[in-house]
Amino acid sequence: MNMQTKNWIDVGSLSDIPRQGARCVKNGEMTIAIFRTADDRLFALEDKCPHKNGPLSQGIVHDGCVTCPLHNWVISLETGAAQGADEGETASFPVKLDGETVLLGL
Amino acid sequence: MTAELHIETRKQKLVIVGNGMAPGRMLEHLFETTDQYEVTIFNAEPRVNYDRIMLSPVLSGEKSYADIIIHGEGWYEEHGVTLHQGDKITEIRRHERKVVSEKGVVAEYDNLVIATGSNPFIIPVPGHDLPGVLAYRDLDDTDGMIKAAEEGGRAVVIGGGLLGLEAAAGLKLRGMEVTVLHLMPTLMERQLDTAAGYLLQKELESRGIEVRCEANTKQILGKDKVEGVELADGTVIDASLVVMAVGIRPNVQLAQEAGLEVNRGIVTDATMKTSDPHIYSVGECVEVGGMVYGLVAPLYRMAKVAATHLAGASEAAFAHAETPTKLKVTGCDLYSVGDFAEGEGREDIVLRDAQRGTYKRVILKDNKVIGAVLYGDVADGAWYNQLLTSGEDVSEMRETLIFGQAYQGGGQADPLAAVAALPDDAEICGCNGISKGTIVQAIKDKGLTSLADVRAHTKASNSCGTCTGLVESVMGLTLGDAFKLPEAEGICGCTTHGHGFIRRMIKAKELKSIPAVMQELEWATPEGCAKCRPALNYYLVADWPGEYVDDQQSRFINERVHANIQKDGTYSVVPRMFGGITTPDELRAIADVADKYDIPTVKVTGGQRIDLLGVKKEDLIPVWADLNDAGMVSGAAYAKGLRTVKTCVGTDWCRFGTQDSTGLGIKLEKALWGAWSPAKLKLAVTGCPRNCAEATCKDIGVICVDSGYEIVYGGAAGLHIQGTTPLGKVASEDEVMETICALTQYYRETGFYLERIYKWANRIGYDHIKEVAYDDLEARKSYAERFRYSQKFAQIDPWAERVAGAEAHEFSPMATLNLEAAE
Ligand SMILES: Cc1cc2nc3c(=O)[nH]c(=O)nc-3n(C[C@H](O)[C@H](O)[C@H](O)COP(=O)(O)OP(=O)(O)OC[C@H]3O[C@@H](n4cnc5c(N)ncnc54)[C@H](O)[C@@H]3O)c2cc1C
Ligand code: SF4
Ligand code: SF4
The 3-class secondary structure across B595-618, one letter per residue, is HHCCCCEEEECCCCCEEEEEECHH
pLDDT for res A2: 42
Domain boundaries, chain B: 2-117+250-311, 133-246, 499-555, 641-796
Give me the sign of the Cα torsion angle B635, B639, B642, B643: positive
Give the architecture-level CATH label for domain B641-796: 2-Layer Sandwich (3.30)
Q: How far is the CA of B216 from the centre of ligand 1 (A)?
A: 27
Longest CA–CA span in chain A (Å) reads 38
Q: In DSSP terms, which residues pair with B371 in a beta bridge?
A: B338, B363
Q: Whose CA is nearest to atom 12 of ligand 1?
A: B295
Measured from the Cβ of residue B569, the count of other Cβ atoms closer than 10 Å reads: 14
CA distances from B477 to B405, B436, B471, B483 (A): 28, 11, 10, 9
- Provide CATH code, domain B133-246: 3.50.50.60
Region label for B289, one of left (φ > 0), alpha (ψ between -120 and 50) or beta (otherwise): left
Q: Tell me how far apart the alpha carbons of residues B761 and B107 are, in angstroms, rounded to a whole number.
A: 88
Q: Least CB-CB distance to A64: which of B342, B814, B816? A: B342
| Residue of chain B with shortest Cα separation from A102 | B814
Q: Beta A30-36 vs A21-27: how paired, if at all?
A: antiparallel
> Do B343 and A59 count as a contact with CB atoms less than 8 A apart?
no
Could you tell me where the beta strands, DSSP code E, fall in B197-333?
Answer: 209-212, 217-221, 228-231, 236-238, 241-244, 248-250, 266-268, 279-281, 286-288, 325-326
> Do B817 and A18 count as a contact with CB atoms less than 8 A apart?
no
Contacts 24+ apart (CB under 8 A), B388-397: B388/B322, B388/B337, B388/B338, B389/B321, B389/B322, B392/B368, B393/B367, B393/B368, B394/B364, B394/B367, B394/B368, B394/B369, B395/B367
Domains in chain A (CATH in brackets) are 14-105 (2.102.10.10)
Q: Tell me how far apart the alpha carbons of residues B638 and B560 are, in angstroms, rounded to a whole number.
A: 10
Residue B294 Cβ inside 6 Å of ligand 1? The answer reads: yes
Q: Tell me how far apart the alpha carbons of residues A66 and A48 are, in angstroms, rounded to a whole number.
A: 12
More confident residue, B632 or A99: B632
Q: Least CB-CB distance to B342: which of A19, A37, A102? A: A37
CA dihedral B498, B502, B503, B509 (to 10 degrees): 160
Angle value at C-alpha B409, between B408 and B414, nearest 5 degrees: 95
pLDDT tens across B249-268, in order? 999 999 999 999 999 999 99
**Residue segments in chain B with a per-residue pLDDT below the cut of 50:** 1-5, 7, 409-413, 820-823
pLDDT for res B460: 81
Q: Tell me how far apart the alpha carbons of residues B236 and B23 are, in angstroms, rounded to a whole number.
A: 43
Q: Rounded to 5 degrees, what are φ and ψ at B280?
A: -105, 165
pLDDT for res B419: 74
Q: Least CB-CB distance to B565: which of A12, A38, A69? A: A69
pLDDT for res B411: 36
Question: Relative to the CA of A86, which ligand 2 atom is closest?
Answer: 5
Please give the radius of gyration of chain B, using alpha carbons only, rounded to the nearest integer: 34
Q: Tell me how far apart the alpha carbons of residues B156 and A33 are, in angstroms, rounded to a whole number.
A: 39
Give me the sign of the Cα torsion angle B65, B68, B74, B79: negative
| Closest C-alpha to A35, from A49, A16, A21 | A21
Q: Tell me how far apart the alpha carbons of residues B23 and B306 are, in angstroms, rounded to a whole number.
A: 9
Tell me the mean pLDDT in the region A44-73.
90
The answer to whether ipTM exceeds 0.85 is no
Ligand number with the minimum distance to the CA of B694: 3
Residue B388: burial class (beta carbons within 10 Å; 0-12, 13-18, 19+): buried
Superfamily designation of domain B2-117+250-311: FAD/NAD(P)-binding domain (3.50.50.60)
Same fold, B2-117+250-311 and B133-246: yes
pLDDT tens across B478-519, in order? 887 777 666 556 888 888 888 988 998 898 888 999 999 998
To the nearest whole Å, the CA of B492 is away from the closest chain A CA by 13
Mean pLDDT (chain A) is: 88
